Amino acid sequence: MATILVTGGAGYVGSHAVRELGRQGLHPLTFDNLSEGHREAVLSGKFVQGDLADETALDQVFASHSIDAVMHYASRCYVGESMEDPQLYYEQNLGNLLALLGCMRRHQVRKLVFSSSCAVYGDPTRIPIDEEHPLDPVNPYGETKYFIERMLRHYDRAYGMRFVSLRYFNACGASLDGRIGESHQPETHLIPRILQVARQEEGQLPIYGDDYPTPDGTCIRDYIHVLDLASAHLAAYKWLSEGNPSQVLNLGTGDGYSVRQVIDGAARITGRKIPSQVFPRRAGDPPQLVCAAGKVRRLLGWAPRHSSLEIILETAWKWECGRRY
Ligand SMILES: NC(=O)c1ccc[n+]([C@@H]2O[C@H](COP(=O)([O-])OP(=O)(O)OC[C@H]3O[C@@H](n4cnc5c(N)ncnc54)[C@H](O)[C@@H]3O)[C@@H](O)[C@H]2O)c1
């Protein structure tokens, strides 16, 4: 029975893909060290607790399952942390990937769906950002995604290992039934932080900069629902399974919302006041990050179904109000 190895499948984005893989009759196997993830979030398939740095354990997983493809989500994901401790990011994100690719080669697994990020673009020189936009990451986190994409091209050329690299914009939302959702410590993403203020777990929402060259002065981002990310991963797996070539694709909606628009939307959905306080801009926050989303639609026939601001906020709020982990 062909299995899809999901590294980081107990994390926020990966856990939604694991559940969707199960729903589609596929066989996910989650490999996660639970450094950031949650065992309760893995709702389908087998779970193995392990660290990618432990190549023996990883090799054992490959040896004892018939693995058809890998979806690689496991990563350190904090931009600020990557600036403070770049070595951690090169070790964890690049070093562990090398171990994973080594196992894949040894066991002749030649399909990989990789979680990349819009951080590979750095400060955009044009909006919307298409896949041809220059790559110039401005932090070690984004650099690791950039290096990995370059490595994958060589693994494809030299070893026939095909990949789809999905450059996500801002992942958000939760499962429709409120069973799984975002739970990070510390929480750095805007939507959960807004909702934690709505639940009065935090006093005020900090807004970093309201003097950007945007209509209301706050930063604009492209928000993509985790369920849409999950369906894109399945479409990418299908693409590779049909023998198609490697691809690098943006994953966003092409619509941008400002911080204030998201706050106003959240106040509407929750019926709560969301007090905020404006602080100076943070270094490295571009005014706008919005993608050109045409390529993924054209190639994979994928389109977002859950990424309206309403659905994003409603599902995230349902999750926040009944959090299980
Ligand atoms: N969340 C976003 O907005 C976003 C945006 C762009 C890209 N991404 C990428 O998507 C992927 C998933 O992001 P997320 O938000 O779900 O992060 P997450 O931290 O919730 O999930 C990552 C998972 O990987 C696991 N993990 C980390 N290091 C590991 C290791 N050495 N061995 C085994 N497991 C390990 C963690 O325990 C966690 O469960 C990451 O690669 C991230 O860079 C996320």
CB count within 10 Å of CB 238 equals 14
Q: How far apart are CA 243 and CA 272, in angstroms?
A: 50
Clarify whether residues 99 and 230 are in a common domain: yes
Clarify whether residues 43 and 131 are in a common domain: yes
Clarify whether residues 150 and 187 are in a common domain: no
Find the domain containing 121 and state its range. 3-171+225-251
Query: Cα(167) to centroid of ligand 1, in Å?
Result: 13
Is residue 96 in contact with ligand 1, taking CB distance under 6 Å? yes
Mind listing the pLDDT tens digit of every residue in the chain (325 residues)? Answer: 689 999 999 999 999 999 999 999 999 999 999 999 999 999 999 999 999 999 999 999 999 999 999 999 999 999 999 999 999 999 999 999 999 999 999 999 999 999 999 999 999 999 999 999 999 999 999 999 999 999 999 999 999 999 999 999 999 999 999 999 999 998 999 999 999 999 987 799 999 999 999 999 999 999 999 999 999 999 999 999 999 999 999 999 999 999 999 999 999 999 999 999 999 998 888 999 999 999 999 999 999 999 999 999 999 999 999 998 9
Clarify whether residues 296 and 229 are in a common domain: no
Clarify whether residues 44 and 93 are in a common domain: yes
Spell out the alpha helix ranges (H) of the chain. Answer: 12-23, 55-64, 79-84, 86-89, 96-106, 140-159, 190-198, 226-241, 259-270, 294-300, 309-321
pTM for this predicted structure: 0.97
Clarify whether residues 217 and 236 are in a common domain: no
Picking from 235, 251, 267, the residue at the C-terminal end of a domain is: 251
Clarify whether residues 27 and 84 are in a common domain: yes
The enclosing domain of 68 has a CATH number of 3.40.50.720
Backbone angles phi, psi at 313, to 5 degrees: -70, -40
The residues pairing with 32 across neighbouring beta strands, listed in sequence order, are 49
Clarify whether residues 77 and 195 are in a common domain: no
Query: Cα(323) to centroid of ligand 1, in Å?
Result: 19
Domain count, the chain: 2
Is residue 78 in contact with ligand 1, taking CB distance under 6 Å? no
Clarify whether residues 107 and 75 are in a common domain: yes
Query: Cα(275) to centroid of ligand 1, in Å?
Result: 30
Picking from 207, 235, 251, the residue at the C-terminal end of a domain is: 251
Is residue 11 in contact with ligand 1, taking CB distance under 6 Å? yes
Clarify whether residues 141 and 209 are in a common domain: no
Is 141 marked active-site? yes
- For ligand 1, what atom is nearest to the CA of residue 38? 39
Is residue 92 in contact with ligand 1, taking CB distance under 6 Å? yes
User: Which of 75, 117, 146, 188 most suits a substitution to test ligand 1, by most atoms within 8 Å of the C-beta?
Assistant: 75
- For ligand 1, what atom is nearest to the CA of residue 34? 37
Query: Cα(37) to centroid of ligand 1, in Å?
Result: 8
Tell me if 57 sits within 8 A of 50, measured CB to CB.
Answer: yes
Number of H helices, E strands in the chain: 11, 14
State the SS3 of 11-56.
CHHHHHHHHHHHHCCCCEEEEECCCCCCHHHCCCCEEEECCCCCHH
The enclosing domain of 179 has a CATH number of 3.90.25.10
Clarify whether residues 317 and 240 are in a common domain: no
Q: What is the dihedral of CA 190, 196, 197, 200, to 10 degrees?
A: 180
Clarify whether residues 189 and 229 are in a common domain: no
